[in-house]
Homo-oligomer: A and B are copies of this chain.
Amino acid sequence: MTQQTSETRRAPRKAPKQARSLETVKIIVEAAARILEERGHDGFSTNAVADRAGVSIGSLYQYFPSKDALIGALVVRETSLLIEDAHAAAEEATGEAAVGAFIAACIVHQFRRPQLARLLDFEEARLPLDADTRRVGKEIQAITIELLKRPGIPWQQDGDVAARDVVTIIKGLVDNAGLHHETDHAELARRVERAVFGYLGVVPSRRRGSRNDG
């Protein structure tokens, strides 16, 4: 980012029309993911990505008009994966089940590529987001808002703020777990659920029987 001069051009420079192009774009994005995972934000340079992708730096810039656009594309790719699972979570009947499924989806998503997910959360907060990147962010937000409207969620005020908070809690805890090399999905899910359900005022059903244990 140090020498970033183009601040506005974030949309793909050229819509790839041939099969070869599409393949190249995919390869570049995956290379970007790998470089970010392996070398972190500071080691992430467009030259490194091009090298790793096995394409020339010129090819990279044929499809991504700037470094930020490339990171944006990566964010979009990763978030899209999560969005699919999140939509599935929204199918659940009760709010509790839906939120639980959403948390599980986030954990699965994060544990797939822990470093990557964590660093992209950073980038997302740091970047001047382009239209596409904003769109997927909003989509996650929208899904979460819907989730929280389901029956069984006591907390029904400030849907926007609540959704933002819930996403923040989940991302924070899950990223942190990744940072500490945790691997136990179920255990992590229980912790995240305690925080999120607590925030939402949900008394989890499985603990309902022992509610008066104090």
Contact = CB atoms under 8 A, between A and B. Distances in A.
A49 interface: no
A196 B176 CA distance: 16
B195 A191 contact: no
B173 A42 contact: no
Copies assembled: 4
A interface SS class: helix
A178 B95 CA distance: 28
A179 B171 CA distance: 16
A96 to B, nearest CB: 12
Interface string A188-204: 00010011111111010
Contacts of A54: none
Contacts of A169: 169, 172-173, 195
Closest 6 CB pairs of A and B: A198-B198, A172-B172, A195-B199, A5-B5, A194-B199, A168-B176
